[in-house]
Amino acid sequence: MTAFEQLLQDEAREIETVLDRLLPAHARPEGRLVDAMRYSTLGGGKRIRPFMVLKSCELFNVSRIGALRVGAALELIHCYSLVHDDLPAMDDDDLRRGRPTCHIKFDEATAVLAGDSLLTLAFEVLANSDTHSDPTVIVELVLNLARAAGVEGMAGGQMLDLVAEHHALEIPEVTRLQRLKTGALIGFACEAGAIMGKAAEPVRHALHAYAHDLGLAFQIADDLLDVEGDAAVVGKKTQKDDAHGKATFVSLLGLERARAQAKMLTEQAIGHLDLFGAKADPLRRLARFVIERRA
């Protein structure tokens, strides 16, 4: 394990602890709902989005407690989206991170409610005064996270993805789909530090540009993993894009050009971090990690 992988793992463990505290199991009849939320949130995952939050916050010396809360809130949104995307009416997936998906482990109704409740909890976590001492900052976090998760962001991208099953998409459309579906949350993750640290516009813009390029590289890497990955390592079904006839960067560009494009975007993303000096090294390493990972 490289030093970076160790750092990633350590931070993931701390986010796991925060998420665990935010989701206390209880014995009441509705405890089944909390069980489903815990099942869908805890127990692994690389926690790449919270990592981006933590490292963008470190650029501005933001309080660690606040950064962890924002990272956890973002991960709750990410986990809710996985629970709902896996539903039979959506992608109909039985396996996630090597375990049965929420609606298989529990049932479909519980999975719908667990997703709803994780989404709701994310905003409750943000709105707590522990997140930031300045309520203006909290309001900006809520606004930006809601936008990133909603129609103009992740949910809109997921809708595009559903519509795309009946249309052959070209590169510009796949790019737009991915910028919404995965890019919007990554954008929030990287801008969170600038919001929390009340950074000036050019600085915030640099982080936005980094997230923009990294988000696409991340998606291309995911598409490559879907084609080249081993289901046992990736922890979910692979080659399902091809089975569904979905247009991906790999199907549109071919393996070689997709790989080159991901590499180019990664270098471009890293270029946007120049103004931060050595402090941004974790974000630089993350960019390289994203396209080199095997799972």
Q: Does 186 bind a copy of itself (CB under 8 A)?
A: no
Among 7, 42, 100, 156, binds a copy of itself (CB under 8 A): 156
Residue tagged 């089944």 (tokens): 32
The alpha carbon of residue 41 and the mean position of all alpha carbons in its chain are separated, in whole angstroms, by: 13
**DSSP state for residue 83 in the 8-state scheme:** H
Phi, psi of 167 (to 5 degrees): -135, 145
Q: Quick one: which segment of 44-52, 63-71, 128-136, 225-233 binds a copy of itself (CB under 8 A)?
A: 128-136
Q: Does 151 bind a copy of itself (CB under 8 A)?
A: yes
**Nearer of residues 132 and 272 to a copy of itself, judged by Cβ:** 132
Instruction: Tell me the longest C-alpha to C-alpha distance in the chain.
Output: 54
**Nearer of residues 158 and 266 to a copy of itself, judged by Cβ:** 158
Number of H helices, E strands in the chain: 16, 2
Q: Quick one: which segment of 1-9, 125-133, 191-199, 242-250 binds a copy of itself (CB under 8 A)?
A: 125-133
Q: Which of 197, 69, 74 is CA-nearest to residue 129?
A: 69
Among 44, 98, 135, 271, binds a copy of itself (CB under 8 A): 135
Q: Does 42 bind a copy of itself (CB under 8 A)?
A: no
Q: Quick one: which segment of 11-19, 102-110, 254-262, 280-288 binds a copy of itself (CB under 8 A)?
A: 102-110
Helix, coil or strand: residue 172: helix
Residues ≥6 apart with Cβ < 8 Å to 218: 48, 182, 186, 290
Q: Does 10 bind a copy of itself (CB under 8 A)?
A: no
Residue 268 CB burial class (10 angstroms; 0-12, 13-18, ≥19): middle
Q: In angstroms, what is the minimal distance from the CB of 117 to a copy of itself? A: 5
Q: CA-CA distance, 80 to 167, in Å (whole number)?
A: 27
Chain residues in the site for a copy of itself (CB under 8 A): 29-30, 32-34, 37, 80, 84, 87, 89-90, 107-113, 115-117, 119-121, 123-124, 126-129, 135-136, 138-140, 142-143, 145-147, 149-151, 155-160, 162-164, 167, 173, 180
